[in-house]
Amino acid sequence: MVTCAPERVAGALNSAIGILGGTFDPVHHGHLRLALEVREALGLAEVRLIPTASSHLRATAVARAEQRLAMLERAVVPGLVVDARELARGGCSYTIDTLISLRQQFPTSPLCFILGADAWNALPLWHRWRELLDYAHLVVATRPGVSLGAIPELARAQTTDFGRLTTTPAGCVGWLSIPLLPISATDLRARRRAGQCLDALTPPAVVAFITAQGLYLAP
């Protein structure tokens, strides 16, 4: 399978909505650049950053839900929107439930669910993952030259015609080759525990919040 350079699809803003789910424990420039690169490449109206309440696939977040939400609100820039629906819903955050809820709110808009390579490779472990394409497109961000694992059940949905991601409501998988920053929340938390500086890994307001709240100091 092939990935395409975003220059081919960049254009004017359309009504399509991007969705980036994550723990955001804490949000960092890797998340923000991912959201902004995909927004620009596809001409999305906005990208909604949706923090999970809890996940059946990973350990409980270190920061409390309201702290992760507060950091996101301090981090967003124009074009990015914080969407707290999974926190409001509570319980285990299943992406399928979130996409159903977004589809109810935006009945005809193209919805583009954005995944990093790690998330794509774990997709077959997600709850009701085969139904995700009934509600949204999957936009997988990869680096130039990096190959992702194939998911045979989704092969037929794969497209290199990225115009379809913003002109049809759902049903396609697009692998978008974009520059990604080698930053992870795990690394930020480790740096904080080691007393290292977090500047330029996440926005200054997030660094200030982490410091003020005494976050991520405990092993």
Residues that bind ligand ATP (CB under 6 A): 22-25, 30-31, 34, 115-116, 118-119, 141, 180-181, 183-186
Question: DSSP string spanning 13-59?
Answer: --S-EEEEEE--TT--HHHHHHHHHHHHHHT-SEEEEEE-SB-TTSP
CB of 148 vs ligand ATP, minimal distance in Å = 11
Of the pair 31, 137, the CB lying nearest ligand ATP is at 31
CB of 181 vs ligand ATP, minimal distance in Å = 5
Of the pair 157, 181, the CB lying nearest ligand ATP is at 181
Q: What are the residues whose beta carbons fall under 8 Å from the beta carbon of 42, sequence distance 6 or more? A: 6, 9, 10, 16, 18, 112, 139, 162, 165, 166, 176
In whole angstroms, what separates CA 92 from the centre of its chain?
Answer: 17
Helix (H, G, I), strand (E, B) or coil at 71: helix
Of the pair 80, 115, the CB lying nearest ligand ATP is at 115
Q: Name the closest residue to ligand ATP (Cβ).
A: 116
Of the pair 61, 172, the CB lying nearest ligand ATP is at 61
CB of 107 vs ligand ATP, minimal distance in Å = 26
Nearest CA to 201 among 21, 65, 80, 71? 71
CB of 62 vs ligand ATP, minimal distance in Å = 9
Nearest CA to 8 among 30, 54, 41, 48? 41
CB of 204 vs ligand ATP, minimal distance in Å = 18
Of the pair 37, 166, the CB lying nearest ligand ATP is at 37
